[in-house]
Structure 1
């Protein structure tokens, strides 16, 4: 007989979890839902993985907060055939196990028959840990430093591989407790439905009640409303995790490329800034030239050339000419009229033909001197 007797303590737990239901119509069973033994699963991370005892305690606390559905072979499509409504952690030697109470509803006659016949005697839970730590290095396969290569190879960044040389992954911190299923063979060793004579709850809660402790104080009273849908598709979870990891890898690569471009741009900016600094220094040096001294030299040159130009013009008979005010124009004027001068034997000059203008000329001589 696999059904557990519904003692007053168990009936109190059922009432607290399921609410106002026909408790007599429910069939109650006890199962070793999970334990700290190595997991039998061919998966890079879960092969030989072990849950910490604290992980089991968190699962038990979650059951006190809210019951979990009982499914068949982790198929969340059909509605559940019962619920897991209580759990406690029991130590067995150096290992620990989560003992769970679950009930099947009156529609689950076929499943109850299989349980009583022993053809279905194992269970499996759907859980997700917050961390999967390498037992040797402490590397977190769910952490930010982990890549898809780490997850699918089971190897950390130091070469320690899960499933080899005694290395395994530790399940630390409960993230999600989705459901418990009736299965042909569970992933956890010895995760099975126990018979009444091996039950942990058959008499222990009854002894607590006899000692004066209210069994209701062991549970969190919750409403009888249906729990939120916490079904999990493991294949979808793995696919999403793989896609997210790939996106993270691509993002890291893009970030590296962008950082390289930023470094190149920063070098270019530094080079251009240096050139600008040099040009600014040259401009400052040019501005530092004594403008007044340059202006004075120019004015002195213009004055000197003006005197020379006056002399040349006087010699050629042009005395009322307005002189230019630049060195270039004065030099051109002097050169132009110097070519028209004719030097007499006595050292004086004579204008070229046609340059005498209206000046009177002596008939006896072809030369004159400037007045």
Structure 2
């Protein structure tokens, strides 16, 4: 790849103005100037991928390769340089036209300190409630009543993205006439040197690294980034699951500590309901036993012992009614009963005898 095909842009990646994210830990939080310095220094060791809308699945659109912290007497900001190659002509055109003009960084600090109490939300003492509510053990909530978080120390800089609206105020791509590095560009161009060649050299780890070596190293960086993002996502999922478990345990605890009077009343009600159900069940069992007795008697089973349990009575009832149904003939009389009448019933001829 020819280095003169690279498009280079300058951007304000992050600053010490209050963040405008609504996340409990970042609501109105500020980044410490020292963390900005660490971010700038890290670019001299390894470039950062340039993504779109924090989507780490596609390959990067470019690389962030140089940074410097500048101050205006009140606030500090991290200015960075990033490059894109000619294959990203559509995105480059959107940046040139001003359609895309904001950036956002994905970073993790080493500490998030409560400005009132000094409590560190990333320390071992921090609980899930502290993290997901932004409230310290003393009840101070980040983003409320002048309380805010202070992000101190760089842990991981995952990537920088082109976005529609960033979480940091004034995090944007800087026009060339307002660029901090702009004067250097102009001087280099006036001297006959290609500014892009200078930028590429500034992004290397030594004076002899060429673009081919840089591209090869970016592939390894992409793999490492994907692994770190996956680990971070798994951690967020785990935290969310633990938060749900804590909520469930709190609900159980609330039930367990009910007043004695409430528990006693619930037990009394339960006892009354149980006694009523017992009476109903006893009556139902007696009625069922009477029905079984009638049916077995009607079927001619006179000396049978009626069982005591519902399943056994149900089985006997089913067996008896099935047998009765099988024996029924036209006219509604049991076949064996009719035959029994013919075989065993004595003829009553007394009515036809004439007294002599």
Regarding TM over 0.5, the answer is yes
- 1:266-286, Cα deviation, whole Å (9 max, x unpaired): xxxxxxxxxxxxxxxxxxxxx
Which residue matches 2:135?
Answer: 155
1:260-275 equivalences in 2 (<5 Å):
none
Cα 1:177/1:248, change in 2 over 3 Å: farther
2:152 matched to 1:172?
Answer: yes
Which residue matches 2:298?
Answer: none
Contact 1:30 1:100 in 2 (8 A): yes
Cα 1:241/1:207, change in 2 over 3 Å: farther
2:219 matched to 1:239?
Answer: no
Cα 1:144/1:192, change in 2 over 3 Å: same
2:138 matched to 1:140?
Answer: no
2:156 matched to 1:187?
Answer: no
Contact 1:153 1:161 in 2 (8 A): yes
* Larger of the two Rg values belongs to structure: 1
Indicate which of 79, 88, 92 corresponds to 2:72: 92
Which residue matches 2:59?
Answer: 79
What is the rounded CA distance, in whole Å, between the counterparts of 1:169 and 1:185 in structure 2? 21
What is the number of equivalent residue pairs in this alignment? 227
> What is the TM-score of this pair, normalised by structure 2?
0.58
Cα 1:137/1:73, change in 2 over 3 Å: same
Which residue matches 2:254?
Answer: none
Cα 1:54/1:248, change in 2 over 3 Å: farther
Which structure has the highest helix share of the two? Answer: 2
- 1:8-55, Cα deviation, whole Å (9 max, x unpaired): xxxxxxxxxxxxx42100100000001111111011111111110000
**TM-fit CA distance, 1:93:** 2.6
> What is the TM-score of this pair, normalised by structure 1?
0.56
Which residue matches 2:217?
Answer: 226
Indicate which of 82, 93, 97 corresponds to 1:102: 82
Indicate which of 37, 42, 45 corresponds to 1:62: 42
**TM-fit CA distance, 1:220:** 3.8
- The 3-state SS of whatever aligns with 1:65 is coil
Give the unaligned 5+ runs of structure 2.
Answer: 192-197, 249-356
- 1:231-263, Cα deviation, whole Å (9 max, x unpaired): 43665442244457889999xxxxxxxxxxxxx
1:249-328 equivalences in 2 (<5 Å):
none
- The 3-state SS of whatever aligns with 2:43 is helix
Which residue matches 2:19?
Answer: 39
Cα 1:147/1:249, change in 2 over 3 Å: farther
Which residue matches 1:293?
Answer: none
Which residue matches 1:30?
Answer: 10
Contact 2:112 2:151 in 1 (8 A): yes
Cα 1:95/1:81, change in 2 over 3 Å: same
